């Protein structure tokens, strides 16, 4: 609906990244410029903040602090992993959302997140449409997993990929220090799509990365893995560096992390909480091959490493937020901002467009199988050509006493 006049609500959801706040800065600064938007609210902890009627008046923030969000990692407004039930099963949450939106005259809703967050956008949009409440809803993409369908890449991925590739290069140099052999197994995030683990190949193509890379797209065999590691170690004075996705699965579809450890907990979306795979594989290698073996888990550092953020990533994340607001004010709704790669003149450009949000909700984009080579243990040059343009440039927070000066929001609770 075009020419809607009312307030806007912005929320962050899912795992934080080093650039999700850049999208927040894009949404907030653009929304504050729009005449049709009467107030700008930031939900505390995503959709839960709306349900709890806990959100901040972003118009009370200093513009300088809002702009510092561009280089501030994590989710400044707070995040959540809260799954809305289908309205046909239980519409309690939807009635509450409608109640809050009516109370504050919220006519624009922007939700920043991954697959599950786009599902939330889609559900809320359809419910509000069904009850006749006019509200334009746009999803702003975010995920280091890079697995959102319909977009060339996702904000957050490039900076995490740059962290992975750089750290793999540093680990490679460290592993070469001693004349004795060492097998190093590095666990990298990625549940069902191996995009982030694939970034280790950027280091490999520089001659300073992993010898072997294992992604969820290829069924994992422990016997083949052990044979691969032994072959590489035997040829390199006992040294081998492995990058492995936390989400690798057996031929039967069982997560290896789950199979090698005690029963894992699940989150509110029913996803198994992975982790600890590197340590378990290191133990397996130690028992079956022997020698010095080290398991390393990049864990949270890979997603919050703003000190090594990609300038391309930061700017595109900011533009995604701005684009969402402009689209909503122009009457678009139930859409997600997507990136389209333009190499028409031989250099990388990114065009921002819109796609129906239901196409992205609960659909995952995986690494093309033709990009996985060397019997499932390395990435092709096509992947390198895909990823390299995304990690270009540095974008860091200004320094204060030698340390990053991150945004300090006042977080003034919105009053009605």
Cα–Cα separations (whole angstroms), residue 24 to 9, 11, 114, 256, 259: 11, 8, 15, 36, 39
Q: Is 401 assigned a catalytic role?
A: no
C-alpha 164/C-alpha 302 separation (Å) is: 7
* Euclidean distance between CA atoms 83 and 115, whole angstroms: 12
Structure tokens at 232: 């590489």
Q: Which of 116, 145, 211, 228 is catalytic?
A: 145
Binding site annotation covers 326? no
d(CA 322, CA 30): 6
Per DSSP, helices labelled H in 34-114 are: 47-51, 63-68, 92-103
Burial (CB count within 10 angstroms: exposed 0-12, middle 13-18, buried 19+), residue 145? buried
Whole-angstrom distance, CA of residue 97 vs CA of residue 79: 17
Distance, in Å, from the CA atom of 16 to the CA atom of 401, rounded to the nearest integer, reads 26
* Residue 143 labelled as part of a binding site: yes
Half-sphere exposure of 411 (CA within 13 A, CB side): 12
The β-bridge partners of 392 are none
Contact 116, 88 (CB under 8 A): no
User: Under a CB-based contact definition with an 8 Å cutoff, are residues 215 and 245 in contact?
Assistant: yes
On whether 115 is known to bind a ligand per the annotation, the reply is yes
Consult the annotation and say whether 190 binds a ligand: yes
Q: Is 246 annotated as a binding residue?
A: yes
Three-state DSSP at 377 gives coil
Residue 108 · residue 328 · CB < 8 Å? yes
CA distance linking residue 64 with residue 415, whole number of Å: 23
Whether 275 has a binding-site annotation, put simply, is no
In sequence order, the β-bridge partners of residue 345 are none
Q: Is 191 annotated as a binding residue?
A: yes
With H, G, I as helix, E, B as strand and everything else as coil, classify residue 203: helix
46 annotated ligand binder: no
Q: Which residues are annotated as a binding site for diphosphate?
A: 15
Q: Which residues are annotated as a binding site for Mg(2+)?
A: 115
- Please give the positions annotated as active site: 145
């Amino acid at each position: 609906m075009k020419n809607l006049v009312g307030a806007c609500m912005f929320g962050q959801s899912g795992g934080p990244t080093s650039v999700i706040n850049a999208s927040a800065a894009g949404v907030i600064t653009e929304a504050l410029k729009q005449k049709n938007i009467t107030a700008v609210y930031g939900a505390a902890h995503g959709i839960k903040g709306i349900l709890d009627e806990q959100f901040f008046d972003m118009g009370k923030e200093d513009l300088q602090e809002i702009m510092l969000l561009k280089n501030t990692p994590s989710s400044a407004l707070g995040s959540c992993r809260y799954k809305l039930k289908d309205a046909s099963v239980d519409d309690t949450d939807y009635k509450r959302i409608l109640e809050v939106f009516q109370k504050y005259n919220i006519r624009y809703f922007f939700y920043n997140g991954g697959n599950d967050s786009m599902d939330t956008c889609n559900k809320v949009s359809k419910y509000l449409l069904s009850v006749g409440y006019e509200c334009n809803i746009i999803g702003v993409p975010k995920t280091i997993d890079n697995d959102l369908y319909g977009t060339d890449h996702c904000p957050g991925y490039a900076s995490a990929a740059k962290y992975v590739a750089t750290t793999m290069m540093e680990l490679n140099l460290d592993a070469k220090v001693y004349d004795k052999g060492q097998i190093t197994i590095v666990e990298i995030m990625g549940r069902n799509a191996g995009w982030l683990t694939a970034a280790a190949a950027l280091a490999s193509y520089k001659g300073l990365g992993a010898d072997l890379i294992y992604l969820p797209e290829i069924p994992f065999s422990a016997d083949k893995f052990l044979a691969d590691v032994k072959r590489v170690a035997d040829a390199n004075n006992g040294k081998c560096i492995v990058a492995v996705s936390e989400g690798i699965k057996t031929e039967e579809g069982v997560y290896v992390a789950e199979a090698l450890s005690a029963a894992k907990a699940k989150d509110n979306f029913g996803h198994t909480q992975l982790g600890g795979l590197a340590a378990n594989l290191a133990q397996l290698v130690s028992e079956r091959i022997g020698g010095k073996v080290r398991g390393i888990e990049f864990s949270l550092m890979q997603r919050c490493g703003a000190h090594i953020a990609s300038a391309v990533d930061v700017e595109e994340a900011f533009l995604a937020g701005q684009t969402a607001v402009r689209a909503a004010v122009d009457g678009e709704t139930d859409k997600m901002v997507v990136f389209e790669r333009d190499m028409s003149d031989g250099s990388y450009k990114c065009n921002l467009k819109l796609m129906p949000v239901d196409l992205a909700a609960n659909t995952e984009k995986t690494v093309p199988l033709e990009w996985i080579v060397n019997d499932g243990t390395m990435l092709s040059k096509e992947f390198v050509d895909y990823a390299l343009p995304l990690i270009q440039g540095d974008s860091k927070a200004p320094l204060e006493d030698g340390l990053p000066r991150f945004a300090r929001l006042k977080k003034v609770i919105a009053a009605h």
